Amino acid sequence: MSSPSIHTQTTNAPGVSLREFRSIDYIPHTERHGHPFSQFTLWFGGNLQITAIVTGALTVVLGGDVVWSLVGLLTGQILGAAVMALHAIQGPRFGMPQMIISRVQFGVYGAVIPLVLACLMYIGFSASGTVLAGQAMAQLLHVGNSTGMMLFSAIIIVVAILGYRVIHKLGKLASVMGILAFAWLFVTLLLSNDVATLLHNRHFTLSSFLLAVSLSASWQLAFCPYVSDYSRYLPHTVSARSVFSAAFCGTVLGTQASMTLGVFAAAIAGSAFSGNEVSYIVGLGNSGAMAMVIYFAICFGKITFTTMNAYGSFMSLTTIVCGFRKTTAIGQRTRTLFVVTMVGLSCAIALLSEPDFLKSFTHFLLLLLACFIPWSAMSLTDYYLISRGKVDIPALSAPHGRYGRWNGYGIAVYLLGLAIQVPFVANAFWQGGLTWLFGGNDISWIIGWFFTAILYYSLRRFDRRRLPEQTRLP
């Protein structure tokens, strides 16, 4: 995890401005700011939210017990968050968004492949978040669910346009509000229900355990394509250990707390939980004024992550457009247009898919794994074992440069990484022929990650491009 050799001089960051004016371009050392602890508050506060609660509840809704669901969820958190936090280290080292670095492995034009998939991921997660936040906002403002979703989307547009600093400030506020709200919900749940009885109900099945592991691992791995977007302004001198620890601990603690609450809530509610997720969770906090506080906390918690998804979709779309235009940045009007477009698509999907949300979201999470596992394996293998953190930043925007237009080697390895997962994918859209070995569960993410990493490293000699001897800055 040692930092690459960079020949530059770090100076103090400029004055604080809430509005961000950079997009996918390199962040000079004179503009770096912040402390690694901001990574903890961002990922801890962002994960204390209703979608994580619903995801944890799925383990019980789909047949699991309480104890082994919690163990499986924690196992998946640790595995997925370790990979996610390794990506977080790339932010301060490169000073650029996560997905533009994919041009190293895929080529300047070839990176469009994972970028399009990233856009789909951001839109999907934003849509699912908008459904739940819209329900909460509707209750809070006494309006219809559709109106609540549209109002929520309008807030997301404003915050995403403002950008990096505002998102981190929201993460800090979300941490405080999330701790207070979740403490209240846990206390009332423990006092009003016999949790001990639930904990005695243990019936381990491999199928349910692997489902819990896959759900939580996919939750964490889905952050990989944008985690370094929110660490790229950190000074390049911060230690890799501190960035890793802050991101890892924040995301594991926040997500596990939310999913634990979801497991208990679903176990207590039984069939009454599905379709009434938000109202049931709020009902744990009793009625009246406290219910309104919980609704507000749910809305605020969803603003953080839904904004991150909108921001990530804007960054990915910008990377695609700038790649073909051979530019490194866009103007504020284009930024606003991109944000409005991506959030608008998410809101439209949310308005259409609300009745079937829980089922669709499960399928979306599991199918998402197959697309980003080989990308993650290639990115980390390249960074830690092949290029060792050295990148030619100007060449990332030059199709005729070191990284080329299309890197056939990288694309071929990526496609093989996808193909090896096919027999092990278990989803409503595809049931692999070997899933019966694991109780019908999806373990393609484990096989795909290690297979792709080994393949990309062992066949590196087929990549004829010359690696930079040191990092080159703009």
What is d(CA 146, CA 84) in angstroms, rounded to the nearest whole number?
A: 34
What class is the 31-462 domain? mainly alpha
Quick one: pLDDT at residue 13? 43
pLDDT tens, the chain, 474 aa long: 444 444 333 334 444 577 888 888 889 988 888 899 999 999 998 888 878 888 888 888 888 888 999 999 999 999 999 999 999 999 999 998 888 999 999 999 999 999 998 888 888 888 877 887 888 788 888 898 889 999 999 999 999 998 888 888 888 888 888 888 888 888 887 777 777 777 777 788 888 898 899 889 988 998 998 899 999 999 989 999 999 999 999 999 999 999 998 888 888 877 666 666 666 777 765 666 777 777 777 777 788 888 888 888 888 888 898 888 887 778 888 889 999 999 999 898 888 875 566 566 657 766 776 888 999 999 999 999 998 888 998 888 888 888 989 999 999 999 999 999 999 888 777 788 888 877 777 788 889 999 999 999 999 888 888 888 888 888
What is the pTM for the complete model shown? 0.86
Quick one: pLDDT at residue 11? 38
Tokens of 220: 């964490």
Quick one: pLDDT at residue 273? 67
Quick one: pLDDT at residue 357? 62
